[in-house]
Amino acid sequence: MNAEVVSWHRIRGRAYDVIHPDHAFSAELFASLRRSDQRLRARQYLSGLLAAEGRKSIRNIAAFAGGTAAEQSLHHFISSSTWDWSPMREALADRVMRVLGPRAWVVRPLFIPKAGEHSVGVERQFVPELGQVLNGQLAFGAWAAAEEASVPVQWRLHLPESWLGDARRRRRAEIPGGTEAETPEECATATALTALGQWPVPKRPVVLDTRVRGLGGVVRPFAEARTPLLTRVEGSTRLIVTDRAMPGYRAGAIPARHIMESVQGLRRPLEDAGGPVRRTTLVAAVRVRLSRPGSGPEL
């Protein structure tokens, strides 16, 4: 729930119009809820996430949406009511595709600081984006991205082994029995592929905006899904140049930074027209494959 709160507040401009909780959109988004009281609570919760002041707690949302009398009902709806979130996210993605027309899916990490240790998935961990060790939850979100706006349509909480291997914690947090440990890279990959594989939305390139250590394990699922992937690699990642016309061909596995240095003179200008200022970047494309045989497709 906390990942969703932070995600909603990243919405600005046109993206806000896409999901503003008017009656028509609320009816479309929450159509999968069978009972009218559930649809009412869902509208109240969404309105509170967008407009309630201060911390987005159930108490504050209830005070904004329906007074203190609504607090218990909202708490039950969010924490205990038996409804499936998947159709709602699918309806959101469908609306975004129709209104925004995104050109790519962007998968990013989202660290949620926590003061205590009882929220599901919380632990002390190093946050690369902040450069320090903090206490909190790690989640990943998939944003439908266009030139003028982006909207989050999928979220996935990373559950560390300290939670999955603790029977008491699993029972208290009601973690499903079949849930297995994932690396952050696997969690990021699953965030995108579960959406693209389960929802009837057009395929778009996936931009994996996170640190990747096991490149082969990340690239392979996207290749099998026939989904274009753009991701960063460490400069020390060893790759094999497969383009005969490029420097480094037949040199074996060499670090990615050496490949980039060798093609500096072959870079060409690429204009970025997105945003208020036009920018030109020098780029070069080199076909490579992973260094271990059978470790992944050509990149």
Domains contained in the chain, number: 2
DSSP string, 273-299: --SSS-EEEEE----EEESSTTS--B-
Instruction: With respect to residue 46, please indicate whether it lies within any of the assigned structural domains.
Output: no
Q: Which residues fall within 8 angstroms of residue 156, CB to CB, at 6 or more apart?
A: 139, 140, 141, 187, 190, 191, 194
pLDDT tens-digit map of 37-93:
999 889 888 888 888 888 888 888 888 776 677 888 888 888 887 888 889 999 999
Helices (H), 23-160: 23-29, 36-51, 58-65, 71-79, 86-99
pLDDT at 157: 94
Among candidates 293, 123, 129, 124, which has minimal Cα distance to 216? 293
**53 in the Ramachandran plot: left (φ > 0), alpha (ψ -120 to 50) or beta?**
beta
Instruction: With respect to residue 127, please indicate whether it lies within any of the assigned structural domains.
Output: yes
User: Which of 224, 251, 270 lies at the terminal end of a domain, its last residue?
Assistant: 224
User: Which of 224, 246, 280 lies at the terminal end of a domain, its last residue?
Assistant: 224
Regarding whether 247 and 274 lie in a shared domain, the answer is yes
Residue 21, CB-side half-sphere exposure with 13 Å CA sphere: 16
pLDDT at 91: 92
Instruction: With respect to residue 247, please indicate whether it lies within any of the assigned structural domains.
Output: yes
Yes or no: say if 239 and 210 are a contact pair by the CB < 8 Å rule. Answer: no
Regarding whether 169 and 93 lie in a shared domain, the answer is yes
pLDDT at 216: 86
Residue 225, CB-side half-sphere exposure with 13 Å CA sphere: 22
Exposure string (b/e) for 126-161, b if CB count within 10 Å is 16 or more? eeeeeeeeeebbbbbbbbbbbeebbbbbbbbbbbbe
Does the pLDDT of residue 13 top 50, yes or no? no
Instruction: With respect to residue 40, please indicate whether it lies within any of the assigned structural domains.
Output: no
pLDDT tens-digit map of 97-109:
988 889 999 999 9
Regarding whether 217 and 90 lie in a shared domain, the answer is yes
Does the pLDDT of residue 6 top 50, yes or no? no
> What average pLDDT score do residues 204-215 get?
88
Domain span at 263: 233-290
Does the pLDDT of residue 257 top 90, yes or no? yes
Regarding whether 269 and 143 lie in a shared domain, the answer is no
Regarding whether 185 and 132 lie in a shared domain, the answer is yes
Instruction: With respect to residue 38, please indicate whether it lies within any of the assigned structural domains.
Output: no
pLDDT at 31: 93
Instruction: With respect to residue 145, please indicate whether it lies within any of the assigned structural domains.
Output: yes
Regarding whether 259 and 171 lie in a shared domain, the answer is no
Give residue 239's pLDDT band: very low, low, confident or very high (50, 70, 90).
very high
User: Which of 195, 224, 253 lies at the terminal end of a domain, its last residue?
Assistant: 224
The alpha carbon of 173 is separated from its chain's Cα centroid by a whole number of angstroms, namely: 22
Does the pLDDT of residue 270 top 70, yes or no? yes
Does the pLDDT of residue 21 top 70, yes or no? no
Dmax of the chain from CA atoms? 72
Regarding whether 239 and 220 lie in a shared domain, the answer is no
pLDDT at 18: 43
Regarding whether 239 and 190 lie in a shared domain, the answer is no
pLDDT at 200: 85
What does the mean pLDDT of the chain come to? Answer: 84
Regarding whether 246 and 191 lie in a shared domain, the answer is no
Regarding whether 149 and 105 lie in a shared domain, the answer is yes
Distance (Å, whole) CA 78 – CA 249: 56
Query: Among all chains, which residue has been given the structure tokens 């407009």?
Result: 51
pLDDT at 1: 33
Regarding whether 139 and 90 lie in a shared domain, the answer is yes
Lowest mean pLDDT among 34-43, 216-225, 256-265, 267-276: 267-276
Instruction: With respect to residue 173, please indicate whether it lies within any of the assigned structural domains.
Output: yes
pLDDT at 196: 85
pLDDT tens-digit map of 154-198:
999 999 999 999 999 999 888 888 888 889 999 999 999 988 888
Does the pLDDT of residue 4 top 60, yes or no? no
Does the pLDDT of residue 9 top 50, yes or no? no
Instruction: With respect to residue 157, please indicate whether it lies within any of the assigned structural domains.
Output: yes
Regarding whether 150 and 271 lie in a shared domain, the answer is no
Does the pLDDT of residue 17 top 50, yes or no? no
Which amino acid does the sequence have at 228? P
